[in-house]
Amino acid sequence: MSAEQKERLAMIRHSTSHVMAQAVLTLFPGSKVAIGPSIDNGFYYDFELTRPITQEDLAAIEKEMRKIVSGNHEFTRREVSRAEALKMFADQPYKVELINDLPADEPISVYTQAGFTDLCRGPHVANTKEINAQSFKLMKTAGAYWRGDEKRPMLTRIYGTAWEKPVELKAYVDMLAEAERRDHRKIGKEMDLFHIDEDSPGQIFWHPNGWTIYRILEDYVRTKIKADGYVEVKTPFVMPQSLWERSGHWAKYKENMFITESEKRIFALKPMNCPGHIEIFKQRIRSYKDLPLRMAEFGSCTRNEASGALHGIMRVRGFVQDDAHIFCTEAQIPSEVAKFCHLLKDMYKDFGFTDDKILVKFSTRPEKRVGDDATWDRAEGALADACKQAGLAYEIQPGEGAFYGPKLEFTLVDALGREWQCGTIQVDYQLPSAERLNAEYIGDDNAKHHPVMLHRAVLGSLERFIGILIENFAGAFPTWLHYQQTVVIPVAPAFNGYAEKVQAALKAAGIRSDCDLGNDRMNAKIRLAQTQKIPYMLVVGEKEAADGTVAVRFRDGRPQQIMSVGDFTAYVRETVENHVVGI
C-alpha cells in the first residue's frame, strides 16, 4: 500500500469514528465523548456512556451509522476561539479538558457533519458518501482509562474497522478469524507447550513440549553465531543502581525496571544486557587488533510492563533475548552491519522468511537524544553505507531511533500478512564513551580510543519469536523444530514389539520420536497425532513387520509411502539438517 493510500484510508477511518460518535450520542443521549483516532486497521472512540453497552447495541450503532453515511453529509472545518470552543463543548468535560490543555497559540478547529460537531485537528474526507456503508464494522468494546491514567475515569472504548471497499473488509474479517484459529495461546494449550498463571502475570511456565522447542531454537542460534565469530558470555541478573545511572538507563527507563534493595543499596533486575557487556570489555586492556569483538548472551531480562499490555508469550515481563554487542572501530561499522545482515537473512530463511517477507526500516535521530549532531551524522552515515554494502532496501522512519543512536529494524511478514518487528541493529557512540561507561582500546597510534558499540538481535525475545512461529505455522512447526518429529502407531497390540523396535532405531539416529501403545484404535491415535501436528505418523502392521518397513503418513497430506526404516531415517535427517520448512 502506497503512502497516499495509507493516508486516504486513515482519513476514512478517522471520519468513520466521528460518524460512530454521532450515532452513539443519538442512541445514548447524555453520554460524554472523549477521543476517537484512526489506528492500524481501524479506529476507536472512548465514551462515558449512560449504561453498559452490549453486543446488540453495537449492531444498533452500526445501523445508525449507515443511516448517517447514506445522508451524504459534508464534513466542514472551521476554526474557533478558545472561548467559543469552551462554550460549544460546555456539556462535554473531556473535550473541555482537551481544550484547556491546548497551547495558547495553537488554532482550535472543529469538524461538523449532519449537525454533529467534534473537536478535531482533522483531516477528514469531504463527504460521508466517501465512507462505504458496507465497508465498516464495529468489532468490540474494552475499558480504557481516560488519558491512560488508572486514577482517572474508566471509559468505554468501542473499536471498529473501516476500508474503502467491502471486499477489503471481508478479507480483513476473514483474516481475523484465521488469526483467532492460529492464536498462540490456544494452540499452546492444545499442544501442551506452556501456560501463564494469573498469579504470575507476564511469566511463562514452559511444559516439556514447549521447552523442547525453546532449547532447539536456542541451540540453533548458538550454532549460527559461533560459526559467525561470536563469543558467548553471561552477565548478572541483578546489578546496582550506580551502573544503570552511569549508562543512562536509570533516567530513561527506571519506571520499567524491577527494583530491589539489599544492605541499604539499590539494585535493579536487568531490563537489557548492554551495560554488563561493557563491564566485561573493560576488564582488561584491549587493542585495536581485538576488534571487532562480537559478544553474545542469551540474557534473561525483566521489564515491568503494565498488566494491560501483556499478551500471552508475545508481551511478557520475563524473557530471554538472542542479544549481542559488537565492539568495533568506526571504520568497521559498514562491514560489521553488512555481516550481521547476511547472518540475519540466513537465519530467517530457515524459518521460511525469505527476502520478500522481510521489511527493513531505518530509524533516524529522535528529538530527545544524547550526543551532538556531528556524532549522529557519522552514525547515520555509517549505517547508510552498511545498508548499501549489504544491498538492503529500506524505509526511513524519521525520529524513531534509540536515544543513543540510529538503528535498522527488521520486520517479518507472516502467513496472514501481519508484520512483526524482530531483528535490530543499532549504532551507539554514547554508551562506551567517557561520559557513560568509558570503554577503551589502544589504537594503532598507541593512544586510547572509545569503541563503537553495535547492539543487535536477530530473533529478539525468544519467547515472542516462538509465539510468532506458532501463529505463522498454526502449530505445524517444521520437522527440524518440532518437539516430536515422528510417532509410531501399531495397527494392533500384536505389533507393539515391532513398533518399539522402530522407535528405538529412530531415537538412535537422533530423531525425536514416540510410540503410541495405548488402548485406543489406530484411527484415534492418528487423530491425536494430527492434533499435535506431528510431521510423520508411521503406521506398522503385519506386512511392515515382515518387510522391515513403515507406512509413512505425512502431516501435509501427501500420499502415504512405504519406506524402509533406514531410508525413512535418512530422509528425516536430511530434512532436519537442511532446515526444510515446508514439511
Tell me what pLDDT residue 372 has.
84
Task: Output helix, strand, coil percentages for the chain, rounded to the nearest 5.
Answer: 40, 25, 35
* Selection from 577, 510, 513, 580 nearest residue 550 by Cα: 513
Omega cis (within 30) before 93: no
Segment 502-539, tens digit of pLDDT: 999 999 999 999 999 999 999 999 999 999 999 999 99
Q: 325 labelled as ligand-binding?
A: yes
Give the E-state strand segments of 250-292 in sequence order.
Answer: 259-262, 265-269
Catalytic residue among 455, 464, 482, 525: 455
Q: Which range (57-66, 187-196, 244-253, 254-263) has the least confidence?
A: 244-253
Quote the cell numbers at residue 506: 529412530
Choosing from 32, 249, 277, 407, the catalytic residue is: 407
E strand or H helix at 473: helix 462-473
Catalytic residue among 46, 57, 118, 323: 323
Residue 188 C-alpha cell reads as 499452546
pTM, 2 dp: 0.88
134 is catalytic: no
Q: Are 59 and 31 in contact (CB under 8 A)?
A: no
pLDDT tens readout for residues 135-173:
999 999 999 999 988 899 999 999 999 999 999 999 999
Q: Say what percent of the chain tops pLDDT 90.
A: 88
From the list 250, 272, 295, 251, the residue with the least C-alpha distance to 439 is: 295
Active-site residue, 525 included? no
Does 274 count as an annotated binding residue?
yes
Strand ranges (E), 76-217: 76-80, 108-113, 116-119, 136-145, 154-162, 194-195, 205-206
Q: Is 277 annotated as a binding residue?
A: no
The active-site residue out of 274, 328, 387, 422 is: 274
Q: In this model, does residue 11 exceed pLDDT 90?
A: yes
- Specify whether domain 3-182 bears CATH 3.30.980.10: yes
Rounded-to-integer distance, Cα 293 and Cα 283, Å: 14
Q: Where do the CATH 3.40.50.800 domains begin and end in the chain?
A: 486-578
Residue 234 falls in the annotated catalytic set: no
Output the nine-digit C-alpha cell for 395.
Answer: 524505509
Catalytic residue among 321, 484, 485, 503: 321
**Would you list the DSSP string of 243-259?**
HHHHHTHHHHHGGGS-E
Query: Quick one: which H or E segment has residue 289?
Result: none
Which CATH code for domain 197-469? 3.30.930.10
The CATH number assigned to the domain with range 486-578 reads 3.40.50.800
Lowest mean pLDDT among 64-68, 112-116, 402-406, 520-524: 402-406
Residue intervals of the chain classified under CATH 3.30.980.10 are 3-182
Catalytic site residue 274?
yes
248: pLDDT confidence band, cut at 50, 70 and 90? confident
Within the chain, all domains assigned CATH 3.30.930.10 are found at 197-469
> Which member of 32, 95, 124, 325 is catalytic?
325
**Beta-ladder partners of 46:** 157
Instruction: Tell me the pLDDT band of 294, cut-offs 50, 70 and 90.
Output: very high
**Which position among 182, 303, 345, 525 bears the catalytic label?**
303
Hey, what amino acid is at 455?
H
- Cell matching residue 517: 501403545
pLDDT tens-digit profile of 40-50? 899 999 999 99
325 as an active site residue: the answer is yes
